Amino acid sequence: MPRNTPEPTLVTPQVLRAWQLPEPSGGKNERGSILVIGGSTETLGAVLLAAEGAMRAGAGKLQVATVASRAAVAAQALPEALVRALPETADGAIRADAADEVRDLAESAGAVLVGPGMADKEETQAFGERLLPHLTGPLALDALGLSCVTADTACLHHLKGRVVLTPNPTEIAYALHVEEDEIAADPAGSAVDLAGRAQAVVGLGGATSWIAAPDDRLWQDESGNAGLGVSGSGDVRAGITAGLLARGAEPAQAAVWAAFLHGRAGERLASSIGPLGFLARELPGEVPAALAEIQG
């Protein structure tokens, strides 16, 4: 891994105020459409968390694609969404050939998020290999959505940087084919390494978040608290990232803002509920107020 890691910029409200998000006007189409692809029979919740995170971050139009056996549940839980039912494996994962069923939505969406709650690494990798070459971005990949990158870090080069990867330390270790202790020893360098190899922005989560761009920009985000270390929290952060992409933020901006908004949402819940015990489903509702705090 590279040891000539650039000097990071510490993310603060002042830094973000000097890097204002696009302010779309008009109806839902002007605010951008987001397509969230993910889930399985056992992990539909990840899709719901990501979808709400995207909308709370300001996306205007929501589309969700998930396994057919859970599509009706998703439609009921997300009355704002168009829900596309996708073919699934016998074990309840999205099938690789489902990429053909969702390609029309993916090509026309303002931004696409692939990965929350997806199961079966081989099927997910094959799904990405069928879908990703047809996309032009913006795109966010989370969780098993990163399996294509693990197999071939050059698979996103055709998107020319219009991608954000949102791995946790385990996922970035898989993508770089190293042990997790190597990531722990140099998380910033790991993010920089993957950003360069994949030609994508990398938002590496953890107690400290590191956001690396392929042009060697690097940010360090210290927001948040221990309460964010809870099931589903990363799905919300991926959704916030994708929602910001949908409303027009460039990839590095979306990743940096998402890291801080996610952390600030956790801080707000800690002050009202307690440092531990709040739930990932409570995070999206804090995002609009966190945005308002920064934007004034």
Query: Domains along the chain?
Result: 24-291 (3.40.1190.20)
pLDDT in tens, 266-287: 999 999 999 999 999 999 999 9
Structure tokens at 264: 């600030």
- Measured CA to CA, the distance from residue 204 to residue 171 in angstroms comes to 9
pLDDT of residue 138: 97
Q: Identify whether the C-beta of residue 242 lies closer than 8 Å to the C-beta of residue 63.
A: no
pLDDT, average across residues 29-33: 75
pLDDT in tens, 66-110: 999 999 999 999 999 999 999 999 999 999 999 999 999 999 999
| pTM as predicted | 0.96
pLDDT, average across residues 57-72: 97
Q: Identify whether the C-beta of residue 229 lies closer than 8 Å to the C-beta of residue 45.
A: no
| In the predicted structure, residue 293 carries a pLDDT above the cut 90 | yes
pLDDT of residue 1: 44
| In the predicted structure, residue 61 carries a pLDDT above the cut 70 | yes
| Whole-number Cα distances in Å, 107 to 114, 150, 190 | 13, 23, 31
pLDDT, average across residues 49-59: 97
Residue (of 101, 90, 48) closest to 283 by Cα position: 48
The mean predicted confidence, pLDDT, of the chain is: 95
pLDDT of residue 199: 98
pLDDT of residue 26: 59
Q: Identify whether the C-beta of residue 235 lies closer than 8 Å to the C-beta of residue 53.
A: yes
- Measured CA to CA, the distance from residue 270 to residue 84 in angstroms comes to 36
**Nearest 10 degrees: Cα torsion 50, 275, 209, 54:** 20
pLDDT of residue 28: 57
| In the predicted structure, residue 29 carries a pLDDT above the cut 80 | no
- Measured CA to CA, the distance from residue 107 to residue 136 in angstroms comes to 8
pLDDT of residue 132: 97
pLDDT, average across residues 103-125: 98
pLDDT of residue 223: 97
- Please tell me whether residue 37 adopts helix, strand or coil conformation: strand
| In the predicted structure, residue 193 carries a pLDDT above the cut 50 | yes
pLDDT in tens, 207-232: 999 999 999 999 999 999 999 999 99
pLDDT of residue 137: 87
| In the predicted structure, residue 2 carries a pLDDT above the cut 60 | no
| In the predicted structure, residue 25 carries a pLDDT above the cut 90 | no
How many CA atoms, within 13 angstroms, populate the side-chain half-sphere of residue 32?
A: 24
| In the predicted structure, residue 3 carries a pLDDT above the cut 60 | no
| In the predicted structure, residue 112 carries a pLDDT above the cut 90 | yes
